[in-house]
Chains A and B, each alone.
Chain A
C-alpha cells in the first residue's frame, strides 16, 4: 500500500508540480491542486493511472476563509486506493472547469452544486432548474443562508407554545442575579 502510494505521489508530482499531497492512514491519499489543474489531473488519474471510478464530488463551504472547497474522490479497483483531489475556489465568484466529458455522471453533481451552492461550471449545458422548483432565494446550502429565518418567514407555525420559559432567566428573575453582557454568550 505504502509503495503504491509513494509511486502515485511520484507520478502526480512529476506531471503536476504545484500539487501537494496529504497522506492519510489506510487507503486514502489527498492531493491539493489549483482549480485549473482539475480536468487534467483527473484525466491523468483516469487514463494513465487506472483511477477509473469517480466515487463522489463534494463541496465544503469555508465561510470564514471566503472559499469553497471542491473534493473529487476517485477510486482505482486495481490499486484499491481512494484519491481525493481537492481544490479551493473564491466564494464571491465561484467558477469551476467542467469535467462531465471525463465522467458523464459528473454532470449531475455539477448541476446540484450550481443549484445548491451557486457554483458555475464553465461549459455546463443543462437546464436551470434541478431539484428546487421556483426557488428565488440564495443557494440554500451556503452557510450564510439563514434557514431558520427563511422558515419563519415562509412557513406557518402552529400556535400554542408562546408560554415557554427560559430556565436561566426564570432563576435570575427570582434571585435578582444580573448577568453582565460579556458573560451572556457563555450562557446556555
Chain B
C-alpha cells in the first residue's frame, strides 16, 4: 500500500455531486405539496343541486352532519330546503356522505389546511362557507362510484303483441325478491310525500317492505288511502318525479312497491285482518255521499272508521267511478276493483247502486236527510270535437266507449279506428280498440312529447302497434250513404311558439289536407262536469266556477254542510288527488260535527 492513495483521498469529493440536487425538504410554507387526485379534504356542496334529502346526515358514523336552514334557500316540492352542515370537530373525512349523496352535489376538496385558536369555528356549511371549493374538487361522486343503486328492477310485462290478444293485465307485478331489492334502493328521505296529494307515508311502507314486513306495509298504506291497489296499478305517481334517486338514475318504483304490498293481501278478508281497522263507536251523525268514485269511497271509509253512518249513492251498477268504468281492465282488473269495494263495505259503508241523484232521488232529499253531504261527482260528460259530421253513426266519445266496454257491453267499432286526443283516456280507448281487433290511429294536435298521457302508456300503445300521428287537426268527418262514418279529413299543423311564454300552439298548414279511412271515430279531448242534479235553491247556494265547485282548503263548498272533492273540484284529474280530497273532507266533517 502506497503512502499516497489518490483514489482514497478523492473519494469524499463524490459527495459534491449532491450539491446541485434540489433538497428533499419541502420548504413549507413557500411551497406546498399538491394533494392527491382523490384527496379527501374539506366538504363542498353544490347548493343548487342539493335537494336536502339528508342522506349524508343519516349515514354519517360520527354524527357530524346536521341538516339546517340556510338563508336564501326555501323549501319547495322536491327540495326539503335544508342543507348539510358539517361539524369538523366530528368529521373524519371518510367520505361516506359523498358516496351516498343521491344527487352528487356533495364532494370533498383538496383543501385541508385549517388552523385556528377558536374551537367554535369548526361548524361549516359546505358551499356557503367555501364558495371557492368548486375549483378544487377532488373526491366527487359519480354514478358508477356511488353507493346508491340507480337502476330500477325492471317490471316484468307481457310482450307487445301478446297483450292485444286479451284483456289480461299487462304488468305482471314484482315477486318478493324483486320487491325487497327495489325497496332497499329507497333512501327514505320522504321528499316524495310532499308531492303526493294524499301525503302517503311512502318511506315508512317502503322500509317495511325492505325489512320483509309486508303486513306492516299494508297497514301503513291503509292509514290514509283506502284504495291502494288502484293507486298501485294506475296512479299518476308524481312522487316518482321528485324521488331523490331520480336525479341521477331511475326513481324508486314507489307505485309498483305499493302494488306488491297490496297484492300480498289477496282478499278483502285478509286485508281486513291485516289492517285490523279500529272502528269507533257510532256517534249518531249521518253523512250522505254522492258518487262512489275514489273521493267518495275515501271519505266514506274514513268517516265510517270515525263512527259516522255513511251512505253512498251511485248511479252505476258498480262502485269505483272512473277507476271502474274509465280504466281498462288490462290496467286495473275487475278482481282488484271488487276486492277494494268489498273491503270498504266490510267497514260498514252502505252503497246504494243504480241510484242517480237528480233522477232516482233528489238532492234536496239527501241534503235534508243527512248531517253533512259529500259530492264526489266527477266529470262524466265528454267535450265534443265541434267539427262537421261528428254526430254520424260510428262516431262516439272515448269515455262512453270505455264505460260500455267495462260494463261488459258490446260496441261495434269495425276494424279501423281513429282516436282524437292525447290524454290517458285517448290512449286507453286506443289500446282497448286494439284488443278488439281494430287497427288504431291516434290523432293529436301537438307533438308526441307534449301528450299529457303517461309516457309508459304511450310506449305501451306503440308496442301494441298503435300509430300515433302528431300535429294533426281534424276538420271534417265524411259519412257514407247510410250516415255512418267513412273517413276523417284533417290538416297537418306546425308548432308556433307562444308569445306569452306558454306552450307552443299548433297552427294548421293550409292545403295539407289528408284523409284517413275509418270505421269508427272516438273523441277524447277532455270531460266536463254535469251539475244538473243541483236544482232550485242549491244552484244558488253551491257555487260553480269554470265548471268546478268552489271549495275552501277543507273541501267545503259555499254551503257549509256540503263538501266536494275529486275531478269536480281539482284540476289535476287523477285518482290520488281525489283520494286526498276525500280524506281532507272526512277530517273536516269530523271536525265540524264532532269536535266543534
Contact = CB atoms under 8 A, between A and B. Distances in A.
Interface of A: 158, 160-161, 163-168, 170-172, 174-177, 179-180, 182-184, 186-188
B279 to A, nearest CB: 16
A170 B201 CA distance: 14
A183 B201 CA distance: 8
Given A171-B190, A186-B203, A186-B208, A165 B82 contact: yes
Interface stretch (B50-58, B361-369, B470-478, B493-501): B50-58
A176 B189 CA distance: 16
Given A167-B189, A171-B194, A177-B201, 8 more contacts: A165-B67, A166-B54, A167-B190, A170-B81, A177-B193, A177-B194, A177-B199, A179-B201
Contacts of B189: 167-168, 188
Contacts of A175: 193-194, 199
Contacts of A174: 75, 194
Given A183-B201, A186-B216, A171 B67 contact: no
Interface of B: 52-54, 57-58, 66-69, 75, 80-82, 85, 87, 89, 119-120, 123, 187-191, 193-194, 199, 201, 203-205, 207-208, 211, 216, 219-220, 223
Of all A-B residue pairs in the complex, the 4 with the closest CB atoms, nearest first, are A164-B66, A167-B54, A177-B199, A188-B188
Contacts of B80: 167, 170-171
A57 to B, nearest CB: 28
A166 B188 CA distance: 12
Nearest to B53: A167
A182 B274 CA distance: 13
Contacts of B68: 163-165
A180 B200 CA distance: 11
A170 B75 contact: yes
B203 A161 contact: no
A168 B211 contact: no
Contacts of B52: 167
Contacts of A165: 66-69, 82
A171 B207 contact: no
Contacts of A180: 201, 220, 223
Main secondary structure of the interface of A (DSSP, over half): loop
Given A161-B123, A175-B199, A166 B67 contact: yes
B58 A188 contact: yes
A135 B58 CA distance: 32
Contacts of B201: 177, 179-180, 183
Which of B54, B204, B216 neighbours the largest number of chain A CB atoms within 10 Å of its CB?
Answer: B204
Contacts of A166: 54, 67
A172 B190 CA distance: 9
B205 A186 contact: yes
Given A186-B204, A186-B220, A188-B203, A164 B194 contact: no
A176 B216 CA distance: 22
A161 B87 contact: yes
A171 B422 CA distance: 34
A140 to B, nearest CB: 19
A60 to B, nearest CB: 22
Given A158-B119, A179-B204, A168 B219 contact: no
A183 B193 contact: no
A174 B203 CA distance: 16
Given A170-B75, A177-B193, A183 B67 contact: no
B26 to A, nearest CB: 33
Contacts of B123: 160-161
12 contacts: A163-B68, A164-B66, A164-B67, A164-B68, A168-B54, A170-B75, A171-B191, A180-B201, A182-B219, A186-B204, A186-B220, A188-B58
A158 B120 contact: yes
Nearest to A148: B63
Contacts of B81: 170
B89 A158 contact: yes
Contacts of B85: 164
Contacts of B190: 167-168, 171-172, 187-188
Which of A171, A187, A188 neighbours the largest number of chain B CB atoms within 10 Å of its CB?
Answer: A171
B66 A161 contact: yes
Contacts of A172: 190, 193, 199
Nearest to B81: A170
Given A158-B119, A177-B201, A186 B67 contact: no
Contacts of A186: 203-205, 207-208, 211, 216, 220
Contact of B188 (A177, A184, A187): A187
A70 B89 CA distance: 38
A116 to B, nearest CB: 22
